[in-house]
Structure formats: structure tokens, C-alpha cells
Structure 1
Amino acid sequence: MPITVYSCREDEAPYLQKFSKQYAVSLHQVDGPLTEQSAAAAAGSAAVSIITTPVSAAVLDALHRVGVHYISTRTIGYDHIDIAYAKKLGIHVGNVSYSPNSVADYTLLLILMATRRMKSILQHAWVQNFSLEGVQGRELPNLTVGVVGTGRIGRTVITRLTGFGCRILACDLHESEEVKAFAQYVDLDTLLRKSDVVTLHMPATPENYHMIGEENLSKMKSDAILVNTGRGTLVDTEALIAVLEAGKLGGAALDVIEKEAGLYYKDLQDRPLDNHDLALLKALPNVLVTPHTAFYTDQAVSDMVENSIRSCMAFESGEKNPWQIV
């Protein structure tokens, strides 16, 4: 079966070649993103595989005109696709799963860097300031870490945290028996009030939009650290900046941020940054910002390519498709 694959990165190439042979599928690779104009390249393919490119109603119309019935995004998140309009057109959408170790390990990295004030340490060392002023950290065994969202990634974060001897609180609508062996489930209000570190692992849904906003930020300890490797829209960025500038929050470590589309994964060196909030966050000494790279490991990229191909194949054959959203 032919599948048109958009935004083919160099790092994906060996996996695209490997899995096209393994599953005996024909891949039509397009280097550029899916757009209203490039949708024509998918003619003859019932399914397309994309990355984080925004898929608007106009793009969906263009895909519909050339006979595409299924969109697989090589990501866990799918908020970049107009799902409602896709359903209206009869176009189905699926995401992928990949190794939870990638984001879980990165989350632990950010927690450790934030609690040990690594940004300040590195910035001081860069200008040969080797004093201890302003770089004293905290030890995880003395802290309570709150994990919001106990899906595959949240559960993996919790198992990693057990090795550090910290107290672990968890919050999710669906409680996991596996998690209960290591963490105590509490409501979000309790978790925010009692945690020294709060890490977010929720999907971007309308219900979760700005779940960490002015009200919930006010419940957190004044020296608490907020970690977000989930989705940027979970946090009200303006409210976060306000509490950070007022000294009412200890710090933040953010791999994702609102309105990151069009910025992340591009070389914007020596160009004005078209995101005022991101520029402010980068300037704060107690905020770590990384460009949505928590997922980016060799295993995760392999999984994303393989599972996107498998998802398209399952849809085409009418088999059970664990990745299909609509």
C-alpha cells in the first residue's frame, strides 16, 4: 500500500527505509511539510503520515480532494489537527506511541537541573564566576514531587523517582494500581499545596487547557518548581510569568510552551524571537527552557516511524488500530 510521508527528517530516513521493507509498504517521501499546496503529492495514497504541522480545514479539504482517508501524526499529541473538521469530512486521524523512557528520563533531568540550580551554575561558570553565591540546591530525598497524569509517561516518571527517596504524590482521573505501590493519589488541590516539584504529564484537551493558571499557581509553595514536558497549553504562560516575576514560585523547567509552533525545530539564530513570553522566560535565571526535545531519542524516533506505518496499514486493512483517534 502507498503512504505519503511528509516532513521527512534526516534522522527518520534509516527507519523509514527499514520499516518500509519490513512491512512491504511503498512510501512516497516528501521533504517539506503538509500544506494546502503540497497535499496534491498525496494523490494515490489513502493515508498520509505527518509530524507537528498544523492541519487546518483548508489543508483537510485539499487532502479530501485527492482521496486521502487517514492521517497519522508521528506524535503522541494531535492538537495540531482540526479533528472536528476532519470528522466532518470523513477523514480519520491517528497518533502514535513511543518509548515512555525518552520523556520520563528527560523529566528527571529537568527536575534535577532545576532543584540543583544548574542554569545559574552553568551561566556563572561561563563567565568564570566560581563563587557559591546563588547556586545552593536542594536534595530530592527532602522533597515531595507531585506527578499530574499517570499514563505511560507519568507512571515511568514515578518509577524513576522511587530511586531518589522522595515522597511522591499523584493525580489522575483514572488511578493506577501500579502507581499506588509507589505514590499516594490525592486531588489536584492537595498535590499543588504539598509538592515541592510539580511535573505535568497530561494530554492537550479542552478540559486541560490552562489547568495550571492563576488560581492553581497561587496554591503552590512559593519555592516550588513547575516542570512541563507534556503540552504547552496546560500552563497559562502569562500567569506563570507573573508569579515568577513576583517571586511567588521557585522556578520552572519547560520543554513545551504555548505558541511554540513555527519556532521550535527551526534555526532562528540571529533573528528576532517572535514569542514575547518565551523571550521573557528565557531571561529569567530560575527558568529552564528547552525546545520540545524531551521525546528525541533514537528509540523514540524508531517507534514513531514504525507505529505510524503500522497505524496506516491497520486502517487500510480494517484491522484493530490502537492509535486511531477518530
Structure 2
Amino acid sequence: MYSVRPDEQAAIKKNAAEINATVTTVAHDFTPADISSLKGADVLCLAQHGAIGTAEDYAKLAAIGIKHIALRITGYDIIDLKAAQANGIKVTNVPAYSPRSVGEMTLTHAMVLLRHLNESKARMLQGDFSWGGLEADEIHTLTVGIIGVGKIGSAVARLFDALGATIIANDPIHRPELSDILTYVDKDTLLKTADIVTVHTPLDDTTHHLIDADAFAKMKNTAIFLNCARGPISDTGALINALETKQIAAAGIDSIEDENGIFGDNLKGQDVPNPRLLKLLQMPNVSVSPHMAFYTKPAVENMVAIAFHDADVIAQGQISEHEVTA
């Protein structure tokens, strides 16, 4: 198991005992240089955002005995699924470790921005405790547009609905169980109508820069944009331009392009190698969290438990419901 954090150790020990598995944990991200150390292992368990290697590396993994790559995260864009499949390696992910955790972070960013908490804090640090310019809307008066209404998007919809918002959504799959709380619309209508636009799609070739300059230009100039999914779903340069030119009012992000090696790490006293992130951090109308929307106790426990369950299922020759294929 790679990229293992201290907070995962208890869950790892518990789940390993339940399926009688021998586990070796490593703190750093997996790289091809680690392949030789995997001799004797059947499963490679990962939780990272950097690609794991080339097609040749997958052949090496298979040759050394790896039969299954178990991701204890949702995103599987780091995996070359065709290479894994060609080498007989099963791949699983954790699609629903805790939709509520990401949903609550999405709501948190929305509230911080709606109530101008960043701006008011910056003023107070300068001794300005006045109210001018800080008047806020209330969520029940707003329309929230959700792009991607899977398990996480559904949780987001239910949270905003509980606060009285009007919910519109865009997704190729229409879920009948949500018919009482949202209305499906096309993407352009959502972008033009919503007061809050939030994305909850997976990251793949079809969603890379799904929110680009054209999308930002269609949003209201009072709109708030939220990305608690994956950074490259939105074009960071276009986002900064939309904020600087007041095409949109504010943004909340939990993930950003080129975050690998930054979010999740302690870089205190070091240069942060992402100038666009630094620019966003300086903007009072931007709320940033370091890809920690998932990071709750229930989510951590579930991510480990589901990864171990999938390893056990596949080891027994069965098919995991979480298997992803090319």
C-alpha cells in the first residue's frame, strides 16, 4: 500500500485482519522504481494523483505478480486502463466512500463565499469592522446548478435542497429518485441560469476543461463557481481571467490543475511551484482548500475498507462491483 497516511493505519490493521491479508505500507507515492520491491505481492493499493507509469511498467507489474490495482480513491485517470487490461491486471476504485463529505465541503465553500467571510476577515485584520459591501444573498433565494449528478452530485443536491435552493442539473443519466428535488436542463441553460455552478463529474477526456473560457462567459456576473471534484475539469487560466474581468463573482476550489506535490504536503518555507494557485490564494473572492473535501473520519475508514473488500473479492475469483475497465 502506497501513499499511506498515519490516519489510515488503524483501518488498515482492522481490515487486513478481517481478510487475513499480509500488508506492507509505504508513505510515498508509487513510482516505477518501486516495482522490484513488489515481488510476492498480489495487490498494489494506491491513493495518489500522479500517473503510475508507462505501458511497459504495467507489463513489469504483471510479470512480478501483481493481479489487481486497488485504488482507495475515486479518480482513476492515473491508471492506463488499456495497459492494465492488456496485462491481465484488474483495477478497482472507491466511487462512494462518503458522498456526504464532499457535499458538505461544497456547501462550506458556498457559504464562505456567499457570506463574504474571506473579505470580512481581511478587513478585520486591518481594523475595519464595517459592513459595507458585505450584504449577502440567502441560499433559499438562489438557483444551484450541478454538473454531474452521480452519488456525490446527488448528495450536493439534497444538501442545497434542504436549505430551500432551486436545483437544476446537467447529466446524461437522469435519476428518477431525484425528480422531487431537481430539474434536468442542458449545460448552456444551467450555466446561464445558475447563481451557483458546481461540478461533480469524473475526470476523463470528455470532462477535461469542461468549464473553460466559453463556459465562464455564459455564467452570470454574480455567479459563484465551485470545483470540489478534480482540478483539470476547469481551466485554471480561464477561471482566473473570469474572476479578474468580473465575468463571475467568486470561486471555491478544492482541487486545481498541477496540484500534485502541493496539496497534501507541507511546503512551509519552500516555494510553491504553482503560480496560478498562488494568485487564487491572494484573491479575497476565492475560497481554496487543499483537496481535502474527502477528508473525514467516515470517508477514510470507508476508502480503506472498500479497497480491502475489493481485494478479497477479486482474490476469490469473483467480480467486484467497483471494477473499472477501458
Deviation at 1:265, TM superposition (A): 0.8
Deviation at 1:34, TM superposition (A): 1.3
Residue type matched to 1:51 in 2? A
Which position in structure 1 is the counterpart of 2:29? 33
2:17 alignment partner, one of 18, 21, 35: 21
Residue type matched to 2:52 in 1? V
Q: What's the secondary structure of 1:93's corresponding residue?
A: strand
Deviation at 1:30, TM superposition (A): 2.2
Deviation at 1:83, TM superposition (A): 2.4
In the alignment, the residues of structure 2 paired with residue 59 and residue 8 of structure 1 have an alpha-carbon distance, to the nearest angstrom, of 22
Deviation at 1:59, TM superposition (A): 4.5
Q: What's the secondary structure of 2:102's corresponding residue?
A: helix
- In the alignment, is residue 116 of structure 1 matched against residue 115 of structure 2? yes
8 Å CA contact 1:47, 1:312 repeated in 2: yes
Deviation at 1:88, TM superposition (A): 3.1
Which position in structure 1 is the counterpart of 2:73? 75
Which position in structure 2 is the counterpart of 1:45? 41
In the alignment, the residues of structure 2 paired with residue 126 and residue 19 of structure 1 have an alpha-carbon distance, to the nearest angstrom, of 47
Residue type matched to 2:319 in 1? K
2:8 alignment partner, one of 3, 12, 26: 12
Which position in structure 2 is the counterpart of 1:205? 204
User: What is the TM-score when the length of structure 2 is the normalising length?
Assistant: 0.95
- In the alignment, is residue 153 of structure 1 matched against residue 152 of structure 2? yes
In the alignment, the residues of structure 1 paired with residue 134 and residue 128 of structure 2 have an alpha-carbon distance, to the nearest angstrom, of 11
Aligned pairs for 1:94-173 (under 5 A) are 94-96=92-94, 97-173=96-172
8 Å CA contact 1:107, 1:229 repeated in 2: yes
CA deviations over 1:263-289 (Å, ceiling 9, x no partner): 111101121111111111111111111
Deviation at 1:61, TM superposition (A): 4.4
- In the alignment, is residue 54 of structure 1 matched against residue 63 of structure 2? no
In the alignment, the residues of structure 1 paired with residue 36 and residue 305 of structure 2 have an alpha-carbon distance, to the nearest angstrom, of 24
Q: What's the secondary structure of 1:207's corresponding residue?
A: coil
Q: What's the secondary structure of 1:49's corresponding residue?
A: strand
Aligned pairs for 1:124-273 (under 5 A) are 124-273=123-272
8 Å CA contact 1:120, 1:134 repeated in 2: no
Overall identity of the aligned pairs, in %: 32
CA deviations over 1:229-257 (Å, ceiling 9, x no partner): 11111101111111111111111000011
Greater shift in the superposed pair: 188-197 or 131-140: 131-140
Q: What's the secondary structure of 1:72's corresponding residue?
A: strand
- In the alignment, is residue 305 of structure 1 matched against residue 301 of structure 2? no
Greater shift in the superposed pair: 286-295 or 19-28: 19-28
Deviation at 1:62, TM superposition (A): 4.1
Structure 1 stretches lacking a partner, 5+ long: none
Which position in structure 2 is the counterpart of 1:84? 82
Aligned-pair Cα RMSD in Å: 1.4
Residue type matched to 1:34 in 2? F
In the alignment, the residues of structure 2 paired with residue 195 and residue 206 of structure 1 have an alpha-carbon distance, to the nearest angstrom, of 25
Residue type matched to 2:86 in 1? K
CA deviations over 1:162-211 (Å, ceiling 9, x no partner): 12111111111000111111011111111110100001110001111111
CA deviations over 1:112-148 (Å, ceiling 9, x no partner): 1111111112222333321113322221111111111
Residue type matched to 1:41 in 2? S
In the alignment, the residues of structure 2 paired with residue 307 and residue 288 of structure 1 have an alpha-carbon distance, to the nearest angstrom, of 31
Residue type matched to 1:54 in 2? A
In the alignment, the residues of structure 1 paired with residue 69 and residue 122 of structure 2 have an alpha-carbon distance, to the nearest angstrom, of 43
Deviation at 1:258, TM superposition (A): 0.9
In the alignment, the residues of structure 2 paired with residue 224 and residue 236 of structure 1 have an alpha-carbon distance, to the nearest angstrom, of 17
In the alignment, the residues of structure 1 paired with residue 114 and residue 213 of structure 2 have an alpha-carbon distance, to the nearest angstrom, of 23
Structure 2 stretches lacking a partner, 5+ long: none
